[in-house]
Chain A
Amino acid sequence: MLMELRKGWKGFIIFIIVATLVAAGYAQLYPSVMEDMEEDKLVGAELVNIEIEDDEIHLSWASIEEIDENIEGSVVYRIVEDTNRYMPNPREINVTSYNNYTLERTDDNDDRYFGVIALDGTMEIPIGMASTEEPVDPMEELMDTPFVRLFSAGREDLSMADMEGFISIEVYSWWILLVGVYLAYLSVKSVTTDFEKDRLDILLSSSVSRKGYLLEKFSALSLFVLIMHVIVGLMIMLSVYSVGESPDIAYLIAMLIAVPMFMVIIAVSMFFAVLFKKSRTAVGVSFGVILVQFGLFATGHLVESLEPVHPFTISNYWDYNSVLLDGVVYPLHLVLLTSIAIIFLLASMEIFQKSDIPS
């Protein structure tokens, strides 16, 4: 096992660094993404109040003195209207020296946008905007897009407005693709490279049994996965803390419970490696299995007919959302994943024991 880690340590370290940067990096994006969401509101909406009644619309706004103390003297307010929030063709509907204006409500349901601009003779000072549109939370809108639903693992209560939800969607949801694909490649290669470089005759004519040989590879890779997830989990916590959010231990635990899932990927990939004895085929099939099961799991939350497939995907048993959102770990999931990993490991041992060592 030491040999495995010894000859592979460079690749391991590089991948851990990459994975850590990706995973921990997303928390850093959280504040600016939240800011972007704010920008979707109308400019100065907090300064212009709108009340919509059956046949009238009342607009009222803050007086210019509240905005800029330096402006003195008489000020009038110009009210403009357009059908687009960006007001490409504003139409003046009134000029008033009061702080409110009432206009008629029309029958059509088009959204109307109003702007209030203060005029002090020489200058135009925009006060703000108001609209008859239904107020929408851009976050809610985002969460309702199918693409985001794809990555929310079926949790309706998941919101990217919370750090937990944000990290869940941005990191945990596709973590299996990033790590799983690399790990599948690594697991297949750890076996097939020995075939292809003609190392096996010497390695297996020592006191190491074929079963022991596979067990060593499996243990070394599992240890690597464990170390990586401890580091990545801690770094996510640190990153969350650094942007002023609470670094919940759940980030680490949710990562740690991914280890049994990745052990399944290691075992399955090794199984294909000894079955096909060729890197290309084994890597291809392993990638396929990971992608297809992920695809079924993710789309299964959008397409109802795919729901029965869920229990057959391994992603289903890495329930990071329960940890992140509810603080619950299901030990049965961990037992199940570990058992599947062991079954595939035993199966690959059985095949390997009975096959000719390629040369």
Chain B
Amino acid sequence: MKKKQIPVMKIRGLTKKYGDVIGIKDLDLDIYKGEIMGFLGPNGAGKTTTIRACLGLLNKTAGDVKIFGLDSHKDSLEIYKRTGYLPGDFGMYEDLKVKTILKFLLSQSGVSDETKMKRLAKRLELDMGKKYGNLSKGNKQKVGIVQAFMADQDLIIMDEPTTGLDPLMQHKFYRLLREERDDGKTIFMSSHILAEVEEVCDRVAIIRNGELRVIEKIDSLKEKMGKKLQIEFDNHVDTSIFKMEGVEDFEMDGKWATMIVTKNLDEVIKKISQQKIINMSLETFSLEQLFLTYYSDGGSGR
């Protein structure tokens, strides 16, 4: 998609050390208005550190972060007025009702209109009459999501927002994200699940061991991103039919065929369909597989 590229967040040389331990190193990243930027990396890669340093919750060792053109640390209060944030780990007052908490947080953001709060809660099927402490993990996460969006701010930053949500709710959430984006909001979300980023993000930044490795449009990532296809045929088949563009690492073990499909999925499926099939599965690459296949460290990483 073509958007007018106005940077909402501008990260330059961001470095955070905890004593001698490097949290993140020399990170450069722009996030543009109206996009969903995925921030992908394995656990412990530095996603949370980056997000919290950008929001001024952590001091930075070096570098510069501008959000809406404002300094992340000096002008943090101005930035918070226009930014919704869902932390990776958060707690709330266990004894209070969800509604009381949300109203309180809304008032802290200086917003009195509760329409969006109620709409979001209804949409995510969150019972606001319950005490926060009695909620399940998934429902607590919903409280976090509602509070991030309810003040209708321009930028939404979320750290692993789908943690604890069931798959159905995850898809509801993805739809919500797209709607918010289409509404002009800018969204920066971290995740360690490639499939999630692939499904919902416009661009993706991949971080590993505290360093930013890739910034890519999701479409070009998809091209690189193979799908692992496994088929059980009824009979032994002639493997030569799978020698085509977009099929890699083909292996045949008895009646089981395994391959990585990077493009031409349509044609591959049509070829397969000429045979009698007993069983079949198609999986998206895991983040590890993606790294192994395309972004191998060349000895510099782990």
Contacts and interface: CB of A to CB of B under 8 A. Distances in A.
The reply to whether chain A is a binding partner of chain B is yes
Interface of A: 3, 6-7, 197-209, 354-357, 359
Contacts of B92: 197, 199, 202
B85 A201 contact: yes
Contacts of A200: 57
B121 to A, nearest CB: 16
B104 A3 contact: yes
Contacts of A359: 48, 52, 57, 87, 89
A355 B104 CA distance: 25
B291 interface: no
A200 B58 CA distance: 12
A30 B147 CA distance: 57
A208 B108 contact: yes
Interface residues of B, number: 28
Given A203-B108, A206-B105, A207-B80, A7 B52 contact: no
B91 A199 contact: yes
Contact of B89 (A198, A206, A207): A198
B244 interface: no
Nearest to A194: B91
B80 A201 contact: no
A215 to B, nearest CB: 14
Contacts of A206: 80, 105, 108-109
A227 to B, nearest CB: 21
B295 interface: no
Contacts of A197: 91-92, 94
Interface string B274-287: 00000000000000
Contacts of A357: 52, 57-58
Interface string B135-176: 000000000100100000000000000000000000000000
Nearest to B100: A6
B89 A356 contact: no
B299 interface: no
B58 A198 contact: no
Interface string B89-127: 111111110001000110011100000000000000000
